Structures are given as C-alpha cells and as structure tokens.
C-alpha cells in the first residue's frame, strides 16, 4: 500500500510492521518535499512519524478521539487522514492549514495553535463520553516543551484525581520545544529518558496469586494493595512522580520502534484511569541536517533538500524588525545591567537568543509559560530591574490576567514588546496578532506605542526601557523593515503620547498607527493624483492619544480616516472616535483595519488585499467614504 492510497487512518489496521515502515518512509519523503518547496514546520512532524502510525494502528478513528498539542507536529496525522493529494497546498491561501482545524477534517478533533491545550481538551472529551455513557478511547499527544505550560500541569492534576476516567496521554519527549527546553521539568524528563524501560506488572498477577497453595481466594481483599505495591517497585524512581499524581506510567519507549510502540499502546488501552506513555523521539528524525540543527530546522522557509540551505532571495532585504529589536536591546543592555530580557520559549523568534549569547545573566527563558513570564517581570520590576518581556502578540493573550492584576493595578514598569503584531501570514488565525491594541488599550496605567519603521523601533525601545511610571507596550510586525538608516547608538527617547505630521493637506486627515503609516503615505500620494490632498499623521501612540494635535486637525479638516493593522473593534480607530465624541466633535470618521473576521492562512500580501488594506484600496475607500464632500471641496 502506498501513502497516497490512504484516505482513512483505519486503513493502517492489519498492515505488517514492514508495510508500516514503508508508510513511515513515504510520510517523511512527502513531508520533506512539501516543506522544502513551500516552507513550514519541519522538525516536529519528522519526529512523530512512527508515534502517529503506531497510535492510529491501535485506534478506531471512526469513534476514538486524538488531540494534538500544537498542530505543527501533526503533519503525519494530516497525511494519514485523507490530505495527501492536497498536502502541497500546505499553509497557502485556501490550502491545507499548518495547524489542526475542526472545519478542515473530521479527524481534527481539536484545533490548536497555542501549546499545552491537549490534555485539558482530551480530558473534557473523556468526561463528556462518561457522562453520556459512551465508550470510546481518548488520547492526547503532548510534547515535552508544552508540558512546561501551566495549563498542561493543571490538566494532569485534574486527570489524576479521576481514577475511573480512561485517558491516554502520550508524552512526545524530544528534549525540545522550538529551542532546547529549560527548567526543572525538562531536567526531570531527561533523567527518565536515561532510565531503563519500565517492566509492567499485568493483571495476570492476580491469577498467579490464586494458584499459590493454601492462599487461593483468601488474598483477594488485599490483592489490589499488594499489586500496587509491587507495581511501584517496577517503576523507575523518576517515573514515580507521575504515578503519585494518579497516572499509570509506561516508558520510556523508543519513539521510532514501531513494534515496541504498538505493543505499548495496546497495553495502555487496557488500563483503567489516566495513563501516561513516555515516548522518546528525535526531532527532525530521518533528515540528518534537521537532526543536527533542531532549532534551525524547527521551521523553515523554502530550502534546498540536498544541502539544507535556504533558497536565496531574489534581492537583498532590509533587516527584520526582530533583528533590529535584538541588536538595539543588546546595545542598551550592555550599558545597563538592570535590563533583563524575558522570553516564553521563543528566544530565536523574538531575537532574544542574541541577548542570551552576549549577556546570559540578563536573559531569562521561562519555557511555555506566559502567565509566569508576566508576573516574573512584575517581581523584577518591584526590585528596580528593567524587565523587557518579548512575547508574540498572540501569546501575550495567555497572560492577560497577570497583565491586569500583577502589572497594571500595581503600576509596575514592565516593558512589553509584542512581536508578530498584525497579520502574520501562513500560520493562520491562531497566530494572527489582531487583538493586542484592543485588549491592552482598556487597561488603566498602560501606555501603547507602535513604530512606523525600524528606526522608530529603536527610539521606542529606548523609550520603553526608560519609562518608569508604569507598564508600557510596543507592537511591531513580523517581517522586514523599510531599509531606513539605523543608528548604532545615541537614540533619543520619544515624548510619551506625542504624534508627528508627515504630510499636510486640507481635504482629509489620515491617522496611521504603526505598520499602517507608510501605506497611509502611499494612499495620500494616490489621492493627490485625483486632486485630493491629505494630511498624514504618524500617531505613534494609541494610548495616550495626542489629542492636542489630532483634535484641532480633525476640526479644521472635517474628514478623518484611521488606519491600523489590527481588529477594528476596540482598536486605534475606536480610540480616535471616542476622543472625538468625548470632545463633542461631530466629525465624519472612517475606520480602516481588520473587520470582525478570522484572518485565515495566506501570504500577508494576500490577506492585506482581501481585507482592503493595500494603499490603492485605502485611497479608493477614502474617495467613496467622502465622495459628496470631497466633490464639493474640489468643485
């Protein structure tokens, strides 16, 4: 059987180990060819090929449920569930999603783009099954990196309290999240990997007791206690922690040995209550280059499969915002030992790996634990440090309660740096940075700013580090800057809440925030070709707004347009509209941004065009919005 013939995972049933090994090779070939061509996550999926095949060979996926922790390790799952012939469209507009989506396949039982969710969702499914009197298996596959997230530990704590709720947790332990894991839990798991496999005491023990002369049935009331005691003797010392938490522990199991995996999963399915199967895997398995560079090949842009090298760009690109952020922060930290960079397992993505390399004492990686990261930063701020929490916009949502209670209420000077703010492209709805303006703007004591380009980013980093009156947040987009000149030092901080006029005109006022300032300037040029002259303002701050500049201009010009790369509801445009209303200025206003929709996976350019956020679309919308008024002005 060829992988292309598999449209349902139950087709794995009855296949020999040799046939399953052939399927495994074909999965790796298709995985590598696709990601090399179009880009995507590489190492995670390559590491779970045998795990996926073995698990699905022991389940009936017409009934049984599987949840995957962060869908980028579920590419083999997609290839085994009828998506082989469309897999080449991975992460492309209208193609296969890079993460699990319930609307994409009946086999995607739970969608996930953020880590540490699988055990909670699987436990919910298992409890629903029991409440309805149903009878199917539920499994959660979680990586050791995701196990550092507090939510996963909360779910383990709950599941361990339910000895009659059957749940299988498969721990995919490759010693990595994106970067090497940090903390006590990964250190503990590493000890487990090095332990001898657990030899399980089966229920045959009971029958053996019954055949002991003069004992027979007389030991039955005490039998369970004896069995449990003997079983604990068989558990490696380090595995006993999971046993104490209420789980039956099995492992560690070789994650690339199909026979051993299948036998272990079959045994696990027979156990009552929560079971944890500890599977040791190699991230990037089967592609030597990825095995040797597990951080670099977690995800890749298109690359040459033979050499592993990225396909070169057709023309040189300006530095990315993340690179400029990293370089600037390191420069500032070298002269200020109180600056401490904090990441939640995203050192490479945020650029803080450079800080870790240059100034390791001023760098903290907390693992996948955004809530802890925020309150840790608050504690550092209490003692006079200058914490810089570099967290993607989409992931900072996970620490919202801590931002409110531990930072804003106490007015602590934490500097939040929100990378990947706005449209991020191929990762889809779970990773789009759409909501940070709205969810932070409503919080007392919070200051919000966004740079128009990479040079202003440098100034805002200085501003954020020096601001001590409370929390301050800076959002900046994924991708490259505009190629404007940068400075090595001597950056000046910006006055809080002050905007700047970039272009003057009498017909319409364009207020751009962050990444939408340059599109506003381009739209103004297009409008000028139609005889409409626009004033363009770089707002810089969404909170506090520069009302001293904006309100007189709004009153004078009489037509206002706001532009932002984020959700319109509660965003920058709402802030401007509220300010006009509060100051009794009845001025027509058009808010341009992301409407109340989920932005699916596509290139950023495709998403911007679909949402009407290109300069030409902005210009056309301005003309339509104020057509009668502008005609009168131009007439």
Active-site residues: which are they?
283, 370, 398
Instruction: Identify the CA nearest to 318 among candidates 427, 455, 472.
Output: 455
351 in Cβ contact with 131 (< 8 Å):
no
**Ramachandran region of residue 436, left (φ > 0), alpha (ψ -120 to 50) or beta?**
alpha
Residue 89 φ then ψ, to 5° = -90, 10
d(CA 139, CA 276): 10
76 in Cβ contact with 52 (< 8 Å):
yes
Q: How many helices (H) and strands (E) does the chain have?
A: 26, 19
Which residues are bridge partners to 112 per DSSP?
A: 100
Which residues are bridge partners to 310 per DSSP?
A: 303
**Half-sphere exposure (Cβ direction) of 527: Cα atoms closer than 13 Å:** 34
| Strand bridging mode 560-567 / 508-512 | parallel
Angle in degrees, 0-180, between the axes of helices 615-625 and 517-529, rounded to the nearest 10: 60
Instruction: Identify the CA nearest to 9 among candidates 33, 31, 25, 27.
Output: 27
**Half-sphere exposure (Cβ direction) of 399: Cα atoms closer than 13 Å:** 29
SS3 content of the chain, % helix, strand, coil (to 5): 45, 15, 40
Q: Which two tokens stand for residue 17?
A: 């180990």
171 in Cβ contact with 44 (< 8 Å):
no
107 in Cβ contact with 61 (< 8 Å):
yes
């Amino acid at each position: 059987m060829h992988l292309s013939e598999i449209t349902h995972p139950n087709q794995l049933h009855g296949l020999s180990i040799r046939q399953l090994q052939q399927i495994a090779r074909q999965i790796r070939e298709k995985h590598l060819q696709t990601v090399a061509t179009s880009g995507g996550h590489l190492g995670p999926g390559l590491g779970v090929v045998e795990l996926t095949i073995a698990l699905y060979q022991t389940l009936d996926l017409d009934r049984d449920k599987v949840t995957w922790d962060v869908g980028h390790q579920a590419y083999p799952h997609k290839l085994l569930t009828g998506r082989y012939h469309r897999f080449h469209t991975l992460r492309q507009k209208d193609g296969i999603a890079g993460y699990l989506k319930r609307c994409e396949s009946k086999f995607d039982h739970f969608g996930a783009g953020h880590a540490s969710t699988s055990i909670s969702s699987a436990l919910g499914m298992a409890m629903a099954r029991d409440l309805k009197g149903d009878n199917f298996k539920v499994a959660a596959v979680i990586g050791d990196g995701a196990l550092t997230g507090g939510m996963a530990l909360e779910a383990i704590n709950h599941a361990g309290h339910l000895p009659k709720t059957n749940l299988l947790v498969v721990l995919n332990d490759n010693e990595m999240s994106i970067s090497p894991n940090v903390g006590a839990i990964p250190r503990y798991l590493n000890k487990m990997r090095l332990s001898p496999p657990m030899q399980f005491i089966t229920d045959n023990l009971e029958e053996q007791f019954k055949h002991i002369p003069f004992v027979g049935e007389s030991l039955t009331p005490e039998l369970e206690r004896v069995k449990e005691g003997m079983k604990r003797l068989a558990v490696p010392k380090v595995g006993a922690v999971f046993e104490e938490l209420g789980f039956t522990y099995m492992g560690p199991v070789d994650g690339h040995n199909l026979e051993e995996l299948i036998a272990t999963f079959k045994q696990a399915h027979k156990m009552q209550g929560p079971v944890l199967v500890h599977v040791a895997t190699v991230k990037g398995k089967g592609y030597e280059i990825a095995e040797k560079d597990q951080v670099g090949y977690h995800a890749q842009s298109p690359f040459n499969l033979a050499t592993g090298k990225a396909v070169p760009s057709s023309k040189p690109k300006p530095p990315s915002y993340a690179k400029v952020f990293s370089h600037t922060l390191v420069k500032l930290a070298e002269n200020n030992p109180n600056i401490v960079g904090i990441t939640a397992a995203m050192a490479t993505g945020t650029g803080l790996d450079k800080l870790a390399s240059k100034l390791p004492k001023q760098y903290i990686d907390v693992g996948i634990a955004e809530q802890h990261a925020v309150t840790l930063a608050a504690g550092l701020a209490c003692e006079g440090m200058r914490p810089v929490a570099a967290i993607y916009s989409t992931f900072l949502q996970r620490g919202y309660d801590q931002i409110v209670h531990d930072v804003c209420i106490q007015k602590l000077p934490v500097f939040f740096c929100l990378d990947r703010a706005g449209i991020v492209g191929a990762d889809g709805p779970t990773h789009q940075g759409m909501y940070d303006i709205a969810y932070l703007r409503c919080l007392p004591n919070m200051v919000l700013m966004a740079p128009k380009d990479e040079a202003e980013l440098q100034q805002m980093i200085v501003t954020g580090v020096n601001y001590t009156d409370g929390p301050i947040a800076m959002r900046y987009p994924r991708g490259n800057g505009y190629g404007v000149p940068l400075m090595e030092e001597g950056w000046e901080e910006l006055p809080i809440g002050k905007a700047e006029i970039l272009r003057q005109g009498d017909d319409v006022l364009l207020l751009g925030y962050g990444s939408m300032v340059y599109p506003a300037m381009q739209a103004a040029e297009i409008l000028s070709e139609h005889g409409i002259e626009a004033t363009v303002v770089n707002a810089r701050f969404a909170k506090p707004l520069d009302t001293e500049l904006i309100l007189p201009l709004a009153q004078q010009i009489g037509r206002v347009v706001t532009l932002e790369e984020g959700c319109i509801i509660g965003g920058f445009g709402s802030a401007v509209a509220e300010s006009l209303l509060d100051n009794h200025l009845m001025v027509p206003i058009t808010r341009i941004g992301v409407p109340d929709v989920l932005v699916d996976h596509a290139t950023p350019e495709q998403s911007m065009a679909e949402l009407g956020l290109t300069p030409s679309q902005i210009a056309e919308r301005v003309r339509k919005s104020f057509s009668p008024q502008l005609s009168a002005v131009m007439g």
